[in-house]
Amino acid sequence: MENEALISTSQINDEFTLMSLFFRADLVVKLVILILFAASIFSWTIIIHKIRLFRSLKKISKQFEEEFWSGRSIKEIASTTHHLSESPIKYVFLEAVDEIEKSNKDTKKNIDSITDRINRIMEAAIDYQNEKLSLYFSYLATIGATTPFIGLFGTVWGIMNSFQSIAISRNTSLAVVAPGIAEALFATALGLLAAIPAVIAYNIFTSQVNDENARMYRFKEHFNVIFSRGLSAK
């Protein structure tokens, strides 16, 4: 009797492992689980990539700002920061320097026109960098918004199958219903597992993009003041 009890207990435990729940599930529930699993992997790939990106950007931007506020001329800063890794603030600076060099080649110089062009170039560069930093955010938002409903669909489908099994077997015992309900709830759990990190990461990364955007706009204003002061001194 004890051996029979141990065998039945081990069978129940085997029935409720994640792999057994997946392989025993209905085709639709299996498809839902695979979609949620793929969405979770894709979400975590984006999250890890963005964490590394924003962590490195803070260090690189700080290094560039230290060089910028060293008191050297714009041309000297452009040459000394050439070895630094690419960053949004450096890109905005180089776009402005490139426009200044093009304006210096112009024989007819209009100070107001040059200042306006540099301001427009820097704003366009900031917009471009914001787009780059926000890349794949729409995927995180989509995963965070849709995966709970995909999991819920799998749950509803699994529970419907469980009720059909009850109707066919005419057996209302928990042993008949439990496996199907477990499969269904597994889909819901996977949906939440994919959605929660995606939503949290989306909010955190959006805040970091806003910080970088504010940093670039502050830099633009400081650059315009320095450049205007240099023109006035000539």
232 compared with 3, residue with greater pLDDT: 232
pLDDT (tens digit, 9 = 90+) per residue, 184-209?
788 888 999 999 999 999 999 999 99
Phi/psi zone of residue 168: left (φ > 0), alpha (ψ -120 to 50 degrees), beta? alpha
0.95 exceeded by the pTM?
Answer: no
- pLDDT at 157 exceeding the cut of 90: no
- Within the chain, residue ranges assigned H as helices are 2-15, 18-24, 27-68, 74-80, 88-104, 111-133, 137-169, 174-233
203 compared with 33, residue with greater pLDDT: 203
| pLDDT band, residue 30 (cuts 50/70/90) | confident
| pLDDT band, residue 213 (cuts 50/70/90) | very high
- pLDDT at 17 exceeding the cut of 90: no
pLDDT (tens digit, 9 = 90+) per residue, 79-111?
777 777 888 998 999 888 888 888 777 656 666
| pLDDT band, residue 230 (cuts 50/70/90) | low
What would the mean pLDDT of 108-120 be, rounded to a whole number?
A: 77
- Helix 174-233 / helix 111-133 crossing angle, nearest 10 deg: 160
DSSP for 27-57?
HHHHHHHHHHHHHHHHHHHHHHHHHHHHHHH
Contact predicate 225/118, CB 8 Å: no
**In the chain, what are the domain boundaries?**
25-233
- pLDDT at 116 exceeding the cut of 80: yes
What would the mean pLDDT of 150-172 be, rounded to a whole number?
A: 78
Contact predicate 92/208, CB 8 Å: no
Distance CA 207, CA 68 (A): 25
The per-residue pLDDT for 4 is 42
Contact predicate 157/29, CB 8 Å: yes
- pLDDT at 11 exceeding the cut of 50: no
